[in-house]
Chain A
């Protein structure tokens, strides 16, 4: 059998093989091109949050389990902070005051201190009452606070070693779902109207 005869004889089979091959290459390239990189929000959802053990402003020990079943709106800061923290906590309070009562009651607003050496539960109690009646203050030992900072990817560090030191810190407000997973984060100085609208849209 010459090559020509072979080709003629098997033409249909060869064409079929070629079509199958092309189809396979096509599917494979579609698979390769498909962006499997998780989005930033998927990434942070997986990365932010986790177990913690702290002390609330009533001097009671708490863990992440005490906050499950409700949405948590959480801000990290310190009471010695004269500008950024009062601004963001006031925004949080203003946003909470804009929520419908049935949404508000599903949310636990939390202020976590990144300055446990100065922020005792007593100081936290005195500080948080200026913002919102539902606000819960959390502090702890340096190790406990380091652990929640790490879980929530919060950066905070003393700017110097003076007794009146300031703390450089990230200024995000995290909105966590009922299972303690991140739903959304808000930047510093977010408009309270927007925060309230986003919270309302995310609460079931």
Chain B
């Protein structure tokens, strides 16, 4: 019995630690584009706020909707849009980074289904320090207006 209580306490304290960590990284405004044609990749976007005192990095993103997700960014040079994969996105303490069309975005390849406007997918964001944060993401063809 004692052991169980200790185990429960440990579990509770572990959970509170993990949620404290999570609270330092806040994800909002998440949305994903529909897959318009089967086999074509999708895009997803969200805002990352770092409310902690130390920098953190978004290292990778996973989803049950796809075996392969990548973090990409756009660079515009001489009117040419170039898209390239990045290793991570760093968010400084007290800073926020918004993934949005024409900037950083998540590429979702080889999706299991051709999800459409109004559907939902899950995204799990893996941070170097804050760990994994899972979000339900609405699929919509136009960017939702910012909440703030």
9 smallest A-B Cβ distances: which pairs?
Answer: A82-B43, A87-B101, A168-B82, A82-B41, A83-B43, A170-B79, A171-B81, A126-B37, A84-B81
Q: Given A168-B83, A169-B80, A170-B81, A79 and B105 touching (CB < 8 A)?
A: no
**B101 x A83 contact (CB < 8 A):** yes
**B109 x A79 contact (CB < 8 A):** no
**A79 x B36 contact (CB < 8 A):** yes
Q: Given A87-B101, A164-B41, A126 and B36 touching (CB < 8 A)?
A: yes
A90 within 8 Å of B (CB atoms) = yes
B92 CB, min distance to chain A CBs, angstroms:
25
Expressed in whole angstroms, the Cα–Cα distance for A159 and B108 within the complex equals 18
Interface residues of A in 32-69 (CB under 8 A from B): none
B101 proximity list for chain A (CB < 8 A)? 83-84, 86-87, 189
Partner of B40, one of A80, A87, A90, A172: A80
**B37 x A172 contact (CB < 8 A):** no
Chain A interface residues (CB < 8 Å from chain B): 79-80, 82-84, 86-87, 90, 123, 126-127, 130, 155, 159, 164, 166, 168-172, 187-189
A171 proximity list for chain B (CB < 8 A)? 76, 79, 81
Q: Given A171-B81, A172-B79, A130 and B40 touching (CB < 8 A)?
A: no
**B83 x A83 contact (CB < 8 A):** yes
A172 proximity list for chain B (CB < 8 A)? 79
B34 proximity list for chain A (CB < 8 A)? 130
**A127 x B41 contact (CB < 8 A):** no
* CB nearest neighbor in A for B85: A166
Expressed in whole angstroms, the Cα–Cα distance for A84 and B88 within the complex equals 21
Q: What are 25 sample pairs from A and B whose C-beta atoms fall under 8 A apart? A: A79-B36, A80-B41, A82-B33, A82-B43, A82-B107, A82-B108, A83-B72, A83-B83, A83-B101, A84-B102, A86-B33, A86-B36, A86-B141, A90-B141, A123-B37, A130-B36, A159-B84, A166-B83, A170-B79, A170-B81, A171-B76, A172-B79, A187-B79, A188-B81, A189-B102
A86 proximity list for chain B (CB < 8 A)? 33, 36, 43, 101, 141
Expressed in whole angstroms, the Cα–Cα distance for A80 and B141 within the complex equals 15
**A82 x B105 contact (CB < 8 A):** yes
A160 CB, min distance to chain B CBs, angstroms:
10
B45 CB, min distance to chain A CBs, angstroms:
9
Expressed in whole angstroms, the Cα–Cα distance for A90 and B42 within the complex equals 15
List 5 additional contacts besides A83-B33, A168-B82; criterion CB under 8 Å.
A82-B33, A82-B40, A84-B81, A84-B102, A90-B142
